[in-house]
């Protein structure tokens, strides 16, 4: 009984990691990773876009939903880029011995 719950969670975790990797945010850590995981797993944009498009079927709604998903993806790109900038700045700070 417990093995099936654990396997199900492992599959969900693997799917989440795959999605994060495809969006370029798979290497995030700490609080940033938790936020992105939450958005991708339970996020308003993702789940509402799926639900609304299934319920409405309208072209206008489908376009709006698509734009919301694109907005989320754009934000994830910005998160990834900011994370890379922070890492580079930390490397510079470490190399300079903390004296900038």
11 domain residue, yes or no: yes
pLDDT at 87: 92
Whether 75 has a pLDDT exceeding 70, the answer reads yes
77 domain residue, yes or no: yes
pLDDT in tens, 9-60: 888 889 888 888 888 888 888 877 887 887 777 765 555 555 555 555 567 7
Predicted TM-score of the model (pTM): 0.54
86 domain residue, yes or no: yes
pLDDT at 85: 94
Q: Give the CA-trace dihedral at 13, 19, 22, 24, to 10 degrees.
A: -80
pLDDT at 4: 84
| Closest of 25, 27, 36 to residue 80, by C-alpha | 25
Whether 91 has a pLDDT exceeding 70, the answer reads yes
CA 89 to chain centre: 23
83 domain residue, yes or no: yes
Domain with 38 in it: 2-21+29-95
100 domain residue, yes or no: no
C-beta neighbour count of 25 within 10 angstroms: 21
Residue 43 CA to residue 49 CA, distance in Å, equals 10
């Amino acid at each position: 009984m417990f093995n099936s719950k654990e396997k199900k969670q492992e599959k969900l975790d693997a799917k989440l990691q795959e999605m994060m990797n495809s969006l370029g945010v798979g290497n995030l850590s700490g609080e940033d990773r938790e936020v992105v995981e939450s958005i991708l797993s339970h996020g308003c944009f993702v789940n509402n876009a799926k639900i609304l498009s299934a319920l409405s079927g309208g072209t206008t709604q489908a376009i709006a939903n698509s734009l919301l998903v694109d907005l989320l993806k754009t934000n994830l790109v910005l998160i990834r880029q900011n994370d890379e900038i922070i890492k580079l700045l930390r490397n510079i700070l470490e190399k300079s011995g903390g004296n900038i």
